Chain A
Amino acid sequence: MKMNGARALLESLKNEGVDMVFGYPGGVVLKLYDEVYKMNFPNILTGHEQGAVHAADGYARASGKVGVVFATSGPGAANLITGIATANMDSIPLVCITGQVANPAIGKDSFQEVDVYGITTPITKHNYLVKDPNELPRVVKEAFFIARTGRPGPVSIDIAADVFNTEIDFEYPEEVNLRGYDGKNPVNAAEIDEVVKAVEKSERPLIFIGGGVTSSDTSEIMRSIVNRLGCPSTSTLMGLGCLDADTDGYLGFAGMHGSYGSNMAIQNCDLLICIGMRFSDRVTGRVKDFAPNAKIIHFELDPAEVNKNVQVDLKVLGDLRESLPIFLDKLDKSTTDFAEKFSAWKDESIAKGNEHVFSWTEDGDKIKPGALISKISDICDDNTIAVTDVGQHQMWAAQFFKAHNPRQFLTSGGLGTMGFGLPAAMGAKVACPDKNVVLFTGDGSIMMNIQELATIADHDIDIKIVIVHNFILGMVGQWQRLFYNHHYSASELKCKRDFVKIANAMGIRAYKLTKAEELTTELPEILFSKGAAVIDVFVPQEENVLPMVPGGKRLDQMILGNS
């Protein structure tokens, strides 16, 4: 069928099942947005391109589908960069579509020209510059295939403006044909035999679950394996929710602000079974002393992650959807009674963890962050998605919000992007309108994309925004207290900003909570009311996130403090 490039792009997106685009128009994408108008293509105009890309990211994290963003050339595209890098670090499938200046203007430093292909190369799974309109359908097909298969990730498509205006003979390809990428990651079952032998020999195994279990949707089978082995388990920040937080023997998440129980178990286990994770420096502590007594096994789709940061003893390459069922099957055939064998070690690990659980100390009628998040976790059901921004509140949320299912705790893990939370929560709600979405943010983070309050109001996106308001860039302040002689250099946030007024001005109702009793008298009603709300919660400034593994220390060298 004959149509212009803009229409062909939208038809391609329809073919991919895209039901929402987050974006921001501008000069070179006017033709594209005109077709959006004519087709009534579902889209949300955000307040800033960064908001659009984080929203698409939140949409993808909540649903598992590919998030889609539109932006114009130059500044529009440049504003996507932080969001693309965020998605890339956490392996989130996105297709980011940007307009480029028209073919004849490329390379001439034209108005609003920036080299998107060059800039996005190091932060995407793959990227394209489309100069020939006839290539557009194939490129879109490939981009979605690449974004969602294998290890997911963001793909950028930069499209010269004249491509949108040019008539092409549109036919959407049935399949992709890429010589260097088929999206398949086969498993060698023999590698799993070795793993089973190692498990049979081990006395103190620990299962360590990463975000790969979420992105491969293997949480169910993972739970069966944990159940079958009956050994203790832990997760990374990105792996939160893959196991139900209440699973017997689950010790909480591990790493810099992870649980005492998890970090000690990692250091004391004799077999560490790592599933779909990449040994980030936040999770290993001093890397040469990570799990010093353990044989390390790595189930991993991406061969480049094996032996990248930590040397492993056994690897099982390939798709977890294939390897984990084989693993479970082989465990079932083993003559070892794993649960019996590991039960004492599990009990020991739980008891160790109970020596220092995540906790807070009450302080009169002040609201402690731990109390706030615990309360919300207690009163929210499984139909709730918790989204976080980045900083102290993020770690408190990870510690005190009990995720029972994958895709229930959305956070910027690898890049640690302040400003991620508000737009991501918006995207999550758009993806899952039947779920309750609660955002935990800080008085620092919320300011980074606060313009999206207006978007949320415009589109009646019902999310509850909890600002853990401590009048400081909390994590920066914590490091300054602990390691920089209490020098609050450029970290204190004076108390002049009024989030209630800001929210009201943007068209959102807002509440201020300052006393502990209000967690019971006010909070539940606001949380369960209909429509978006900002809940500005005052908490003390000098609260630390503990435990903490200081940079360069071993996982068992935690600062424990008040717990």
Chain B
Amino acid sequence: MKKYFLAVLVENKPGVLTHVSGLISRRAFNIESISAGYTEEPSVTRINIVVSVESENELDQVVNQLGKLIDVIKIVNLSKSPSIERELVMIKVKASKETRADLVGVVDIFRAKIVDVTSENVVIELTGSQSKIDAICEVLSDYEIVEIARTGTIALSRGPVPVKAM
């Protein structure tokens, strides 16, 4: 299985996410993550999809099927060009007096941030590649993780050309 990052520009209309997510489930595509948000153009939403496929052919299927949706304006496979991929995670970990110093150490090593502290826990925030986030989750599993929220990966091409002009 290989992962690809797709930037999907869609009309900013109600129901578009239903169309995209419905298609993904109906065609049984393997999706690692999906996230959506506003863009520099108010009428356009950008959906970031990380898709996991066996072959280039399967990837073509995902792109071509998504391309058939009327509300999809453009799809770019960002894995084909140099791009930056980032994910944000927030992790709530139990922190006693004994473990807090250790946790701060972990946070420093990963260049993460502590964004909330109580007498019982800390909330750690980290932005990075998916593997880096996987790594901090792995290390923190030695402590008591209360909950994790991840955004899924978003990606942007390097250089001056935006996806809409690709």
Residues of A whose CB lies within 8 Å of any CB of B are 117-118, 121-122, 125-127, 129, 146, 178-181, 302-304, 306-308, 311
How far is it, in angstroms, between the C-alpha of A220 and the C-alpha of B142 when the chains are bound? 72
The answer to the question of B64 belonging to the interface, with a C-beta cut-off of 8 Å to chain A, is yes
Q: CB < 8 Å: which of A146, A303, A304, A308 contacts B70?
A: A146
Expressed in whole angstroms, the minimum distance between the Cβ of A212 and any Cβ of chain B is 15
How far is it, in angstroms, between the C-alpha of A92 and the C-alpha of B65 when the chains are bound? 18
Instruction: Decide: A307 near B73, CB < 8 A? Known: A117-B15, A122-B22, A302-B68.
Output: no
Q: CB < 8 Å: which of A122, A126, A302 contacts B26?
A: A122
Complex contacts, A146 vs chain B, CB 8 Å: 70
How many residues in B have their beta carbons less than 8 Å from beta carbons of A? 22
Are B65 and A180 touching (Cβ within 8 A)? no
Are A180 and B57 touching (Cβ within 8 A)? no
Is chain B's binding surface mostly helix, strand, loop or mixed? helix
Residues of B whose CB lies within 8 Å of any CB of A are 10-11, 14-15, 18-19, 22-23, 26, 57, 60-61, 64-65, 67-74
How far is it, in angstroms, between the C-alpha of A129 and the C-alpha of B71 when the chains are bound? 14
Nearest CB to that of A155 among chain B residues?
B70
User: What are 21 sample pairs from A and B whose C-beta atoms fall under 8 A apart?
Assistant: A117-B15, A118-B18, A121-B19, A122-B22, A122-B23, A125-B70, A126-B69, A129-B14, A129-B15, A179-B11, A179-B73, A180-B10, A180-B69, A180-B72, A180-B73, A180-B74, A302-B64, A304-B64, A304-B65, A304-B68, A311-B57
Instruction: Decide: A121 near B18, CB < 8 A? Known: A180-B11, A302-B68, A304-B64.
Output: yes
How far is it, in angstroms, between the C-alpha of A86 and the C-alpha of B10 when the chains are bound? 28
Complex contacts, A121 vs chain B, CB 8 Å: 18-19, 22
Nearest CB to that of B26 among chain A residues?
A122
Instruction: Decide: A308 near B61, CB < 8 A? Known: A121-B22, A180-B69.
Output: yes
How far is it, in angstroms, between the C-alpha of A179 and the C-alpha of B60 when the chains are bound? 21
Expressed in whole angstroms, the minimum distance between the Cβ of B44 and any Cβ of chain A is 9
Q: CB < 8 Å: which of A118, A127, A181, A303 contacts B64?
A: A303
Complex contacts, A178 vs chain B, CB 8 Å: 70
Complex contacts, B22 vs chain A, CB 8 Å: 121-122
Q: 9 extra interchain contacts, Cβ-Cβ under 8 A, other than A118-B18, A125-B70? A: A121-B19, A126-B70, A179-B11, A179-B73, A180-B69, A302-B68, A304-B68, A307-B60, A311-B57
Instruction: Decide: A303 near B67, CB < 8 A? Known: A180-B11, A311-B57.
Output: yes
Expressed in whole angstroms, the minimum distance between the Cβ of B28 and any Cβ of chain A is 12
Are B61 and A180 touching (Cβ within 8 A)? no
Nearest CB to that of B71 among chain A residues?
A180
* A-B residue pairs, 7 tightest by C-beta: A304-B64, A126-B70, A180-B73, A303-B64, A121-B22, A181-B70, A179-B73
Nearest CB to that of B13 among chain A residues?
A128
Complex contacts, B60 vs chain A, CB 8 Å: 307
How far is it, in angstroms, between the C-alpha of A68 and the C-alpha of B130 when the chains are bound? 49
How far is it, in angstroms, between the C-alpha of A308 and the C-alpha of B62 when the chains are bound? 10
How far is it, in angstroms, between the C-alpha of A121 and the C-alpha of B65 when the chains are bound? 14
Complex contacts, A118 vs chain B, CB 8 Å: 18
Complex contacts, A127 vs chain B, CB 8 Å: 15
Nearest CB to that of B56 among chain A residues?
A307
Complex contacts, A129 vs chain B, CB 8 Å: 14-15
Complex contacts, B64 vs chain A, CB 8 Å: 302-304, 306
